[in-house]
Structure 1
Amino acid sequence: MTIDEIIGFMQGLDGVLAVTPAPGDGSPEISWGDTFFSYSPDGAVPATAQPFATIVTKDYPGDESSLLDRPDTFRVNVAAGKDMFREWTGHAPGEPVIDTAAGVSDAVTAHPVYGSAGWLAVVNPGPRTDAAVRLLLREAHRLARGRHDRRKGPAQGR
C-alpha cells in the first residue's frame, strides 16, 4: 500500500477528515508531510478529539525504533482498540510487549510509543498486511465514530 492508497481508502469512509500539514499552514515543521485522520462529519478539525489513525514519514523524538528516516519508509498508526490490539499482539494494551519487529516492514506490531493505549502500527504496509491494515482502519473509524456520537448525543450524531 502506498500513502496515497491509504489516504484514498480513508477518504472513502464516512466522516473522515484527513489533514496533511505543510509549510505555511501554521503547523509544526516536524508534522509536515504526515497525515492525521479524524472522525469529523462536519469537516472541521476536532478541537478535543485526537486522530484515530496517522501516517508518519519520519522519526519523531523518542520514537525512532521504526527507522522511518530510511528512504521510502513510512508507518501507518491505528487506534484499533483493546480487542484488536489483543488479537494482533496477544497482549492487552499496557502489558509488556516484546517488540521483535522494530523497523520491519509489512508486519502488524504494537505502536512503539502508544501501544500501551491500544495503538497498532505497520511500517510500509504491503501484500502481507494490506487486508489487515484496511480491517484495522475500519475498526478505528468505527470506534472514533462511536466516541463522536456519544459526545454529540443521539440528536446530533451522524
Structure 2
Amino acid sequence: MDVDEIIKFLDDLGGVLALRPGPGDGSPEISWGDTFFSYAPDGVVPTTTQPFATIVTKDYPGDERSRLNRPDVFRLNLFAGKDAFVSRTGRQPRDPATDDPDPSVVDTVIAHPVYGELGWLAVVNPGPRTEAAVRDLLRTAHRLARARYERRAETR
C-alpha cells in the first residue's frame, strides 16, 4: 500500500479528517509531508484527542530506529488498542520489548518503536505481506476513535 492508498482507504471509512501539514499553514516544518488522521465527522480539528493514525516520512528526534531517511520509505502508525496489540505482538503494551522485530524492516507489523507501550503499532512500507492486517488494524483504530468521539459527544 502506498500513502495515497492508505489515505483513500481511511477516507472511505467516513468521518476521517486527514491533515497534511505543509509550508505556510503554521505547522512545524518537521511535520511537513506527513499525514495525521483524526475522527472528526464535523471536519473540525480535534483539540482534545490525538490522531488515531499517522503516516511519517522522515525520522523524528528520538525516533530514528525505523530509518525513515531512506529513499521512498514511510511508516504507518496506528492506535491498535490493547487487544489488537497483544494479538499482533504476543505481549502486553507495557511489557519489555525484548523480542520485537527490527523497527526498520519493511512490510512487518511491529510495536511502534516509541509509542508501543501505549498500544500503538507501526508498519514501514506496508506491502503484500501486511496489507490485509493493515486494513483490519486501520478499521479497528477508526472504530476506537469513533467510539471515543461518540462518548465525548454524549457528555457535552
Q: Is the 8 A contact 1:101 1:107 kept in 2?
A: no
The gaps in structure 2 that reach 5 residues or longer are none
Partner of 1:40: 40
Deviation at residue 16 of structure 1 after TM alignment: 0.4
Deviates most, 81-90 or 145-154: 145-154
1:18-57 aligned at under 5 Å gives the runs: 18-57=18-57
Q: Report the secondary structure of 2:37's partner residue.
A: strand
Alignment of 1:122-137 (within 5 A): 122-137=123-138
Map Cα deviations across residues 70-121 of structure 1 (whole Å, 9 max, x no partner). Answer: 0000000010100000000001111112333220000000000000000000
2:150 maps to 1:149:
yes
Residue 14 of structure 1, CA deviation: 1.4
Tell me if 1:80 matches 2:80: yes
How far apart are the structure 2 equivalents of 1:100 and 1:84? Answer: 17
CA contact 1:105–1:122 (8 Å) conserved in 2: yes
**Matched residue, 1:67:** 67
TM-score of the pair, normalised by structure 2: 0.97
Aligned residues of 1:89 and 1:97 also touching (Cα < 8 A): no
- Structure 1 alignment gaps of length 5 or more: none
Q: Secondary structure at the match of 2:110?
A: strand
Task: Find runs of 4+ consecutive structure 1 residues off by over 6 angstroms.
Answer: none
My pick for the range that moved more, 92-101 or 6-15, is 92-101
- Whole-angstrom distance in 1 between the partners of 2:43 and 2:103: 35
Q: Deviations over 1:41-83 (max 9, x none)?
A: 1001001110000000000000000000000000000101000
When the two chains are superposed, the root-mean-square deviation of aligned CA atoms in Å is 1.0
Q: How many residue pairs align between the two structures? A: 155
The two structures have a TM-score, normalised by structure 1, of: 0.96
User: What percentage of residue pairs aligned between the two structures are identical?
Assistant: 68
